Amino acid sequence: MTMNRRLFSRSGLLALVAGSSLAAVATGAAKEKPHRLVMHIGDGDDGKMNEALSNIVNAAEYYAGIGKTIAIELVANGFGYAMLRDSSPVKARIAEIHRHFPFVVFSACQNSRKAMAKAESKSIEQIVEIPEATDVPAGIVRLSELQEQGWSYVRV
């Protein structure tokens, strides 16, 4: 009987009801969720490209301003792949963003690159990407994988 009173005393009941939460806090396991943003561009419109880049800068500056970090990845596929080509209308702006925020990843869909090469009657090697581009086999798969990992998705 004495054992039951101790077990269900005020502190014992609290520990019993919220045991896992308290244990997580006590051990430091309950940490803030990381901020992760994936921006998707599938359109070759210059205005949308600039909107995506402005969103990236705004998010990066916001989190830097409050002393937090964020992972940001832009995935360009379909007509949006043009954003990461050497002929991109926003390549200078991408280079500038990459200098200020080197953690931003610019993922270039290789399926889209192949499609553009075919449409332009060129070899895939003739479709040159900007230096900041990181190749991904399929943009749609990359987007899916990041969302499955809990990344916030924004389509421009």
**What DSSP string describes the chain?**
-HHHHHHTSHHHHHHHHHHHHHHHHHHT---PPPEEEEEEE----HHHHHHHHHHHHHHHHHHHHTT--EEEEEEE-GGGGGGGBTT-TTHHHHHHHHHH-TT-EEEEEHHHHHHHHHHTT--GGGSPBPTTEEEES-HHHHHHHHHHTT-EEEE-
CA torsion through residues 59, 137, 79, 152, sign:
negative
The predicted structure's pLDDT at residue 71: 98
Q: Residue 84 above 50 pLDDT?
A: yes
CA distance 71 to 85: 23
User: Which residue is it, tokens 């990381």?
Assistant: 34
CA distance 55 to 41: 12
What mean pLDDT is predicted for residues 114-131? 97
As a whole number, the mean pLDDT across the chain is 86
Q: Residue 5 above 60 pLDDT?
A: no
What mean pLDDT is predicted for residues 123-148? 98
CA distance 67 to 127: 39
User: Which residue is it, tokens 């953690």?
Assistant: 103
**133-136 and 105-109 beta bridge pairing:** parallel
Q: Residue 9 above 70 pLDDT?
A: no
- Split at pLDDT 50, 70, 90, the class of 33 is confident
The predicted structure's pLDDT at residue 15: 36
CA angle 40, 88, 145 (to 5 degrees): 25
| CATH placement of domain 35-155 | 3.40.1260.10
Q: Where in the chain are the domains? A: 1-31, 35-155
CA distance 139 to 76: 7
pTM recorded for the entire structure: 0.80
The predicted structure's pLDDT at residue 32: 78
